[in-house]
Amino acid sequence: MLLIQVTRSKTNQFLASTLLNPTRKFQFTTTTMKEIKTKRSSSVSSPLNPDAKCCSSVQSTPEIEKKYVHRVYDAIAPHFSATRFAKWPKVSSFLNNLPSGSVILDAGCGNGKYLGLNPDCVFIGCDISAPLIQICSDRGHEVLVADAVNLPYRSGYGDAAISIAVLHHLSTEHRRKKAIDELVRVVKKGGHILITVWAVEQEDTSLLNKWTPLPGKYLEEWIGPGSPRVRSSSSVTLESIPETEVSVSVEEQVKDFGNVSEGKADCFQNGDKKDQQQEYFVPWHLPYHRAEVSGASARALENGLARKDDNKGAIVYDRYYHVFGQGELERLVSGMKNAVIVDQFFDKSNWCVVLEKTSC
């Protein structure tokens, strides 16, 4: 796992480039994150796991995640951040109901929109994207670059943890389970974890037509237990991905969790779910005027990671998603011996669970 400290006082200039070159060998100097003092305790301690290995695990990350998750979010970080400011009601409610002085770990914090939401709690965030972490750092948050499947925090450090729209970017069931195991590991006994993921049962079913089913050739590259299964054949290649998606407006993005809905989705109820496509490329349109044409975007175009759409005036990046079916998230945690589900719900095209850690 690549563990590099991003503090509020200085910037690590080579952070982004290391993520763009996963085959490069590195040697790291162990760093210590700012010590945290909570309101509920006079003790001072570091959140970092002293046993964490300061070596790169990017090598073991599936290539599809490196290309269509990590590098994409690195490239679109400023534009992505500009569209991510609305707080989802369910997440806000979870955070605001935590006891004063709680230490909250946000795994996959993105641009940090939830960091500091509850002023009576202490927030620590991490994300695999160095540019997004830099945005958080510039805003004064305590953050670092880390992988969701190998969190750098000490076991039992946090009072609560959140994973908002992260697990659907992990390409195998094994990695999704490992990410949940890590969330449970880093909180104390009795601590709660909120996890949300995109659902295949989208309330706006037209969205599925705008996404590109994952080409079969990529499914075939994943070998071993936990690899995605081919649910429907596709002859689509990367070179012929249709330009059907339009740039998503802020209003459309906010509606994902805009209004609280307790009812579960009723779409697809009459369909055969086992044959439902769940692996997709979801496009992100980066307007020309927001693209660093001489930098990351130019390299992405040259390397085939992105393509130009002159009609829409944007550079198009594809993001990998495994969208969850009903009951899938619950099944991932059902066999855990140290955590139980205390709440589960469907909220605006997202499946969500709240876990409680029952033992260390």
Lowest mean pLDDT among 155-159, 253-257, 325-329: 253-257
DSSP 290: G
pLDDT band of residue 199 (cuts 50, 70, 90) is very high
Is the Cβ–Cβ distance between 114 and 143 less than 8 Å?
no
Going 93 to 108 to 322 to 74, the CA torsion angle's sign is positive
Q: Provide, rounded to the nearest whole percent, the portion of the chain with pLDDT above 70.
A: 67
Q: What is the mean pLDDT of residues 107-117?
A: 97
pLDDT at position 103 is 98
pLDDT at position 6 is 41
pLDDT at position 51 is 63
pLDDT band of residue 277 (cuts 50, 70, 90) is confident
Better-predicted residue by pLDDT, 145 or 10: 145
Compute the half-sphere exposure of residue 18: CA atoms within 13 Å on the CB side of its CA: 22
357 contacts: CB under 8 Å, gap ≥ 6: 184, 187, 188, 189, 190, 191, 192, 193, 338, 339
Mean pLDDT estimate for the chain: 76
Better-predicted residue by pLDDT, 160 or 297: 160
pLDDT band of residue 302 (cuts 50, 70, 90) is confident
Compute the half-sphere exposure of residue 320: CA atoms within 13 Å on the CB side of its CA: 22
Name the one residue in this structure whose structure tokens are 């998750």. Answer: 69
Residue 94: what are its φ and ψ, rounded to 5°? -60, -45
pLDDT at position 232 is 37
Tokens of 181: 């195991």
pLDDT at position 313 is 92
- 226 burial (CB, 10 Å; 0-12 / 13-18 / 19+) is middle
Going along the chain from its start, the domains and CATH numbers come out as 4-200+326-357 (3.40.50.150), 206-258+272-322 (no CATH)
The answer, yes or no, to whether residue 144 has pLDDT greater than 80, is yes
pLDDT at position 86 is 87
Tokens of 61: 């990350």
Q: What is the mean pLDDT of residues 313-331?
A: 95
DSSP 343: E
Lowest mean pLDDT among 29-38, 81-90, 130-139, 234-243: 234-243
The answer, yes or no, to whether residue 259 has pLDDT greater than 80, is no
pLDDT band of residue 273 (cuts 50, 70, 90) is very low
DSSP character string of 298-331? HHHHHHTSEEEETTTTEEEEEEEEEPBPTTHHHH
What helix, strand, coil percent values describe the chain, rounded to 5?
A: 30, 25, 50
- The pLDDT tens digits of the residues spanning 55-70 come to 444 448 999 999 999 9
Tokens of 289: 């005027």
The answer, yes or no, to whether residue 30 has pLDDT greater than 80, is no
Q: What is the mean pLDDT of residues 225-241?
A: 37
pLDDT at position 35 is 54
DSSP character string of 26-71? -------PPPEE-TT-S-EE--B-TT---S--GGGS-HHHIIIIIH
Better-predicted residue by pLDDT, 338 or 221: 338
pLDDT at position 343 is 97
Packing angle, helices 71-83 and 296-303, rounded to 10 = 130
Q: How far is CA 175 from CA 148, 179, 198, 338, in A?
A: 9, 6, 16, 18
The answer, yes or no, to whether residue 338 has pLDDT greater than 80, is yes
Better-predicted residue by pLDDT, 243 or 107: 107
Residue 104's DSSP bridge partners are 123, 160
Is the Cβ–Cβ distance between 128 and 70 less than 8 Å?
yes
DSSP character string of 122-182? EEEEEES-HHHHHHHHHTT--EEE-BTTB--BPTT-EEEEEEES-GGG--SHHHHHHHHHH
Better-predicted residue by pLDDT, 33 or 343: 343
pLDDT at position 50 is 64
Distance CA 135, CA 297 (A): 18
pLDDT at position 34 is 54
